[in-house]
Chains A and B, each alone.
Chain A
Amino acid sequence: MQQPWITLRLGQTSIRIDRRVPFIFVVCILATLSAMVINIGVGEYPIPAIDVVKTVLHIPTGEEDYNFIVNTLRLPRMLVAALVGLALGISGAIMQGLTRNPLADPSIIGISSGASLVAVSILVLFKGISSNYLPFAAFGGALLVAFAIYMLAWRGGDSPIRLILVGVGLGAITSAATSMMITFGNINDVQRALIWLTGSVYARSWGEFWPLFMWVLVFAPLACFLARDLNALNLGEDVARGLGSNVTYKRGLLLIVAVALAAATVAAAGTIGFVGLMAPHIARRLVGPDHSGMLPVAAMVGALVVVCADLVGRTLFAPIELPCGLITAAIGAPFFVYLLWRQRKS
């Protein structure tokens, strides 16, 4: 009988992965790369796809301007978009796996709104401050709220359901505080804050890319490293404990990874909602629920979603640009309905 997975063994070392993973993973990477190339080519100053590739690879194309437009203006934006999607995909997959709730998402529970509150407060209260500090502040806000959620949900043990509900509650409080800022701030500051709130990769440069890249470089592999533990936790706390998993420690570690990734995205691009909700579901459909294969695929699907959302946002009402967070919300909400609808059948 054909096994549903591929096994690689080398001496004592062995790895097992779902049969569908390699092919789908490669397809997702290719799709994301193509979407990025198309997105870089589109704009006020259109560039043919082949020239985009050439310019990125520093092969002369004969056009002087291409290098500036592609490598300085559009490429970092695209890379930020892809990394944001990637991080959100993994973060959402971890949250859903940990809470055993298919509806968990960093933007639905309060983490993103914590980041928003800090960022908006800074934009509104400290006029002269350089927006370079914004990402760090947002990151701090997200971590702080995540920590508060965990502490408040902890009661002699952690419960996934309490975690979600406390997240919703804290989200409501921080949103109220945010709307206070919006009410009292100078109208121009408020508008800047709103753009940030919606989530956008507009005008992101290498300056935003590198810090995000470092975070993803550390935490994305760590997530994949913990995939086996996530699988065990996904069976429920008692079963996982019975299987010999150090539940509290592993769950805490996974939560830190999820929050760090979500916070990094908020810092780089504001709150881009629903990607963390959608990507894991699509990945699960493609390669099944085993996280060792599902996490990388969710990451790539997330990247694809954000890059495409940005593309749509840029082209739909050109020359006006819609923030890509608006697009992901517009796709994400019906997706959410679909998820609830599907649950009804089982």
Chain B
Amino acid sequence: MASATVARPRGEMRFVRSRAALLLGLLLCVGALLLAMLASIAFGAADISAATVWQAIFAFDQSSTSHLIIRTLRIPRAVVAAIVGAALGVAGAMMQGLTRNPLADTGILGIETGAALSVVCAVQFLGISSISLYAIFAFIGAALTAAAVYGLGSLGRGGPTPLKVTVAGAAITAFLSSITTGLLIFNQRTLEEVRFWMAGSVAGRDLKLLVQASPYLIVGFVLALALGRQITTLSLGDDVAKGLGQRTGWVKILAAIATVLLAGCAVAVAGPIGFVGLVIPHMVRFFVGVDYRWVLPYCALVGACFLIMSDVVARLVIRPSEVPVGIMTALIGGPFFIYLVRWRVKR
């Protein structure tokens, strides 16, 4: 049997109900995000006091090394982490709402692996070696893989069931990563060049890269947030949404475009960072409920906080060296995935 039902608990708990409370929560999240960014700027390999951080931001002194570190390394890093985290959180929520699959995530569904293969090919065959060019290829790879996994998972009886899409993602991951490894075996130089990118990191990313990606990111965010109401309806199921008069085809296409734009840009900027898109929407839905008009903005903020904090932890665990944040999120998110399977998959 190739179909599975992944049950959500009935009458999912909600702590925040009224509109005012939801707005207040949103403001709290913004506050938390600012704190997280400050933490990200303050902690790092070099010990820099809070006062210096303050000065670097508001009274920049070009001759001070500490100030330079803050301005050129840490602030861009915090910003990149925030934006990538937000993009991944929203993309994850969109994916889960769109496919009605609580296990959907860019990492699980192989989209990261697709981006990685695309970058490896670019390095190997086109001799590309700048991170901003990686971004373009990562984006293409991510988009193609997303289409392939969703297409594969919807073949067969019952359309795209969570089990089928997940298994299709796992199979594609196995296939693509085997090709990636195959390519890397024969070329040590390529391996040397891409292996750190492949682990996923927000360190050392040029803000210019973010500027290049910003038009796509903005379109993605705006489209996603505008579709909140439609996604809520769609998450009741195709037939129900159609019955309620929704043009599901269009909504799906637009939502898919938004998702791919966001996930693709995230991969392009930071490399493969999995599980943010899995964990965040679940956390958010637990508190906010199932109305995507609220879920999506919350996901953006909480996703940003989560990735910044993961990045801070990744910097601190094996000082002075650091763990790529993509590995960090997998180590946090993987157990969460298993928890979901364990408690939500009834049979």
A and B touch in the complex (CB under 8 A): yes
Task: List residues of chain B with CB within 8 A of the CB of A323.
Answer: 182, 185
Digitize B187-210: 1 where CB-to-A-CB distance is under 8 Å, 0 elsewhere: 010011001101100000000000
| Contact between chains at B342 and A168 (CB < 8 Å) | no
CB contact between B182 and one of A168, A173, A198, A341 (< 8 Å): that residue? A198
Is there a chain B Cβ closer than 8 Å to A194's Cβ?
A: yes
Task: List residues of chain B with CB within 8 A of the CB of A168.
Answer: 108, 166-167, 169-170, 337
Digitize B147-180: 1 where CB-to-A-CB distance is under 8 Å, 0 elsewhere: 0000011011100000110111111101101110
Is there a chain B Cβ closer than 8 Å to A58's Cβ?
A: no
In the bound complex, how far is the Cα of B148 from the Cα of A337, in angstroms?
A: 10
In the bound complex, how far is the Cα of B342 from the Cα of A155, in angstroms?
A: 7
Residue of B nearest to A336 (CB): B171
Give the segment of A182-190, A225-233, A246-254 that binds chain B: A182-190
Residue of A nearest to B103 (CB): A165
Digitize B303-347: 1 where CB-to-A-CB distance is under 8 Å, 0 elsewhere: 000000000000000000101101100110011011001110111
| Contact between chains at B163 and A164 (CB < 8 Å) | yes
Is there a chain B Cβ closer than 8 Å to A243's Cβ?
A: no
Is there a chain B Cβ closer than 8 Å to A103's Cβ?
A: yes
Is there a chain A Cβ closer than 8 Å to B4's Cβ?
A: yes
Residue of B nearest to A272 (CB): B178
Is there a chain B Cβ closer than 8 Å to A153's Cβ?
A: yes
Most interface-central of A165, A171, A173, A274 (chain B CB within 10 A)? A165
| Contact between chains at B327 and A179 (CB < 8 Å) | yes
| Contact between chains at A109 and B164 (CB < 8 Å) | no
Task: List residues of chain A with CB within 8 A of the CB of B59.
Answer: none
A123 to chain B, nearest CB (A): 14
Digitize A270-311: 1 where CB-to-B-CB distance is under 8 Å, 0 elsewhere: 000110010000000000000000000000000000000000
Task: List residues of chain A with CB within 8 A of the CB of B20.
Answer: none
B254 to chain A, nearest CB (A): 26
In the bound complex, how far is the Cα of B191 from the Cα of A332, in angstroms?
A: 25
In the bound complex, how far is the Cα of B118 from the Cα of A7, in angstroms?
A: 55
| Contact between chains at A172 and B334 (CB < 8 Å) | yes
| Contact between chains at B323 and A107 (CB < 8 Å) | no
A166-B342, A183-B195, A320-B186 are known contacts. Are A329 and B155 too (CB-CB below 8 A)? no
In the bound complex, how far is the Cα of B192 from the Cα of A187, in angstroms?
A: 7
Is there a chain A Cβ closer than 8 Å to B76's Cβ?
A: no
Residues of A in contact, count (CB < 8 Å): 58
Is there a chain B Cβ closer than 8 Å to A318's Cβ?
A: no
| Contact between chains at B178 and A198 (CB < 8 Å) | yes
Is there a chain A Cβ closer than 8 Å to B181's Cβ?
A: yes
A109-B170, A166-B342, A329-B175 are known contacts. Are A101 and B157 too (CB-CB below 8 A)? no
Is there a chain B Cβ closer than 8 Å to A177's Cβ?
A: yes
A56 to chain B, nearest CB (A): 31
Is there a chain B Cβ closer than 8 Å to A132's Cβ?
A: no
The 7 closest A-B pairs by CB, nearest first: A176-B330, A343-B156, A173-B334, A333-B175, A329-B178, A340-B155, A169-B337
Q: Could you name 27 residue pairs across A and B whose Cβ atoms are closer than 8 Å?
A: A100-B1, A107-B174, A108-B170, A108-B171, A108-B174, A109-B170, A164-B167, A169-B108, A170-B338, A171-B170, A172-B337, A176-B330, A179-B198, A179-B326, A179-B327, A183-B195, A183-B198, A183-B199, A188-B188, A194-B191, A197-B181, A326-B181, A329-B179, A340-B153, A340-B164, A343-B2, A344-B157
B residues touching A (Cβ–Cβ < 8 Å)? 1-2, 4, 103, 107-108, 152-153, 155-157, 163-164, 166-172, 174-175, 177-179, 181-182, 184-186, 188, 191-192, 195-196, 198-199, 274-275, 321, 323-324, 326-327, 330-331, 334-335, 337-338, 341-343, 345-347
